[in-house]
Structure 1
Amino acid sequence: MSQFHFSIRTPAKGVRGLGSAKSGTEHFWRQRVTAVAMVPLALAFVAIVICASTRDYESARALIANPFVAILLLLFVVTGAVHGKLGVQIVIEDYIHHEGLKVAAVIANILFTVVVAVAAVFAVLKISFGV
């Protein structure tokens, strides 16, 4: 009687050393790290918005031009964009089953995230440098 060696890993996965839980781990940790980072950054963002809303236009611009405040805003924008992209990507991969539509949605998600993040970073830098 011959013995069969049964494995659910494809030959390509065996060669590359990629089994289950090795491909999504980085995505999982990146999403968790950005979520943890967003807590203090979101609190700082809310505090900055409250401080800016109680000032006149020039004082609000001066607040955002402060290097510490500008860096906090930039970190909030970039971290929020990365976290949002990762979250939407999970939803796309879980709920869109047509492969072509899934690829198009992932590309659209990336492009949308980049455009929004670049616009927000540009706005903060423009105000910060007083241009």
Structure 2
Amino acid sequence: MAAPQIRSLRSPLGRVRGLGAAKGGTHHWWMMRVTSMALLPLTIWLVFALARMPDATWLEATIWIGRPFNTVMLLAFLAAAFHHTAYGLQEVVEDYVRGDLAKLGTLMAIKGACFLLWLTATIAVLRIAL
């Protein structure tokens, strides 16, 4: 009697490489988890730091941003937040937008907007800090 064959929807090459039908692995899933884990302590730090200065003047706020630790933490927060936003919106578009051209245009608009907003916020922090 012959041994039963194991049937799979994956191609032999896909099984060898460990990739599914999308040929993309789990990169997006991991990046969402990594950025969310980075955002957790950064957001807690930012909320508590801003809560300690509710009546701060513009000068006090710029001095606070100019401190090296605060500058680095703000830049890390901005990078993680905009990266996480871009990945999250990309998942929504890939799941719900129909049509390749509409999907491509929407993804390009999202990535471009997130990049420009991140760049603007980063330059603003650096201008104040330096």
Output the TM-score relative to the length of structure 2: 0.83
Counterparts of 2:75 and 2:84, CA distance in 1: 14
CA RMSD of superposed structures (Å)? 2.4
SS in 2 for 1:100: helix
How many Å apart are 1:17 and its aligned residue?
3.3
Question: Are positions 1:107 and 2:111 aligned together?
Answer: no
Question: Are positions 1:28 and 2:29 aligned together?
Answer: yes
In structure 2, the gaps of 5 or more residues are none
Percentage of matched positions with identical amino acids: 31
- 1:95 corresponding residue in structure 2: 96
Moved more, 66-75 or 45-54: 45-54
Q: 2:19–2:25: 8 Å Cα contact kept in structure 1?
A: no
Counterpart residue type for residue 127 of structure 1: I
Cα–Cα, structure 1 residues 10 and 108, in superposed 2: closer, same or farther, change >3 Å? Answer: farther
Counterpart residue type for residue 124 of structure 2: A
- 1:62 corresponding residue in structure 2: 63
How many Å apart are 1:18 and its aligned residue?
5.9
Aligned pairs, number: 125
Output the TM-score relative to the length of structure 1: 0.83
How many Å apart are 1:47 and its aligned residue?
2.3
Moved over 2 A (4+): 4-11, 16-19, 47-54
Per-residue Cα deviation, 1:5-64 (whole angstroms, up to 9, x for no partner): 9653468x64x9363186141111110011111111111121232344322221111111
In structure 1, the gaps of 5 or more residues are none
